[in-house]
Structure 1
Amino acid sequence: MELKIPNISASMNGEVDLFEVMKSLEDNPIDRFSWGKVDPAPMVCFKIAHNNKTILLQYDIWETETLARYSNHNAPVCKDSCVEFFIAFEGEQNYYNFEFNCLGTCHAAWGSDRNNRQLLKSTIINQIQEHTKMQRAIKNGLPLINWQLSLQFPLNVFSFDDIDGLIGKKATANFYKCGDDLCQPHFITWNPVKAEKPDFHLKSHFGRIEFL
């Protein structure tokens, strides 16, 4: 899959909530169940934009159950109700994985594959601005929990790369939803992943993205 990431700099005038600007942007579904679909299945989508110096990312999740046990960065948040963003900038063998539970607790690392990874320091992770919101609601006739996670990634967060601007930059990426320790474990992807068992670290299955 391919994704063109809009530049919203022109929509910003003075003091403005960046995510208010994103409300009109397109929802991108995370709906590929490569390893079996649960019932009822979580409904997940994301919006993404940039202003040349910051990546703006919003997740919107509807599910029957949430779990949030981890509050310290670099804990195994994939076991909680979790959304993830993996990105490899063009020309780089290594990629970043950013994983967040519904509290906004982050596990972040960089490396060439699942096993060869270097954790990002908490001082780096703390530069990611995050905001979470959760409520009970009815959707499609079902009582569900709706949680939203809004994130701002300044370029300094990509600390193993020397990036001074995003305009025109290309990368590969994937976006995920999981919950390893939920009553109904699930592993959902934006770009399809062809593997016998759940594995989000297959860089060859990332989709192509471009920052406009």
Structure 2
Amino acid sequence: MAYNVHRIGDLGQLGECEPFFIDHYQWTKGEKPKAYGKMGLLENYGLVVSMTAVERNPLRTYTEENTPVYKDSALEAFLSFPGVLGNQSYLNFEMNANGALLSAFGTTKERVFLRDFTRLQAVCEAKIEENTWEILLKIPMELICSLFQIEPLQRGDSFTCNFYKICETPEYEHYGSFAPIISERPNFHLPEFFETAVIV
């Protein structure tokens, strides 16, 4: 079933958007942290995604941009838009509880850090509570349009996406996804398993 992306006039309305749940855990039998989020199309800006993980004291080693935050406790958003590059190219945003953001663009086999590719960047904010931590990811529409060579998203437009909860450090290792993935090995970089999202 497609995820409905509601258009919003300000960030305060993001809380009213449709939730998604990262509840497909596979490849390991250990940790399965509860995680969920919401995504909206913010007027005059672009896509905004809030994500929450129910974890006390999340592993948060990395503090710098484009460091391997997936080794920490991380939340991730991957998005692909139907443009001249087809459905194989996508954006991947990976974030830890420090707000360290790894952002890249490309295909399953070859991706480039956005910082090395364009001046346009997404922004990540993180907040830690006693039993949860959350991120707010803001993706400018100009960034999406320039990479995929498309017009700004409008009502009725669709794209594909998946959201993840991950930690690759062995003692905390886990892999959760919003849309299920068919793979014998842990691999989130499989756009063929992204879910459809529709602007409503």
Normalised to the residue count of structure 2, the TM-score between the two structures is 0.87
> 2:2 is aligned with what amino acid?
E
- After superposition, where does 1:71-150 map in structure 2 within 5 Å? 71-91=63-83, 92=86, 93-113=88-108, 115-121=109-115, 127-136=121-130, 145-150=131-136
1:4 aligns with 2:4: yes
Contact in 2 for aligned 1:94/1:110 (Cα 8 Å): yes
2:194 maps to 206
Q: What stretches of structure 1 of length at least 5 have no aligned partner?
A: 13-17, 137-144
- After superposition, where does 1:20-59 map in structure 2 within 5 Å? 20-39=12-31, 41-52=32-43, 53-59=45-51
How big is each residue's C-alpha offset from its partner over 1:75-125, in whole Å with a ceiling of 9 and x where there is no partner?
A: 111011111111110242311111111111111111121x31111117958
- In percent, how many aligned pairs have the same letter? 28
1:166 aligns with 2:166: no
Contact in 2 for aligned 1:155/1:163 (Cα 8 Å): no
Residues 27/161 of structure 1: CA separation in 2 closer, same or farther (3 Å cut)? same
Residues 161/72 of structure 1: CA separation in 2 closer, same or farther (3 Å cut)? same
> 1:70 is aligned with what amino acid?
Y
> 2:47 is aligned with what amino acid?
I
Task: Tell me, in whole angstroms, the C-alpha distance in 1 between the residues paired with 2:120 and 2:101.
Answer: 9
Superposed structure 1 runs of 4+ greater than 4 Å apart? 122-126
Contact in 2 for aligned 1:124/1:156 (Cα 8 Å): no
User: Alpha carbon RMSD of aligned pairs, Å?
Assistant: 2.1
1:153 aligns with 2:139: yes
Residues 100/125 of structure 1: CA separation in 2 closer, same or farther (3 Å cut)? farther
Choose the corresponding residue for 1:183, options 166, 171, 181.
Answer: 171
Q: What stretches of structure 2 of length at least 5 have no aligned partner?
A: none
Task: Give the number of the structure whose alpha-carbon radius of gyration is greater.
Answer: 1
Q: Secondary structure at the match of 1:7?
A: strand
Deviation at 1:27, TM superposition (A): 2.1
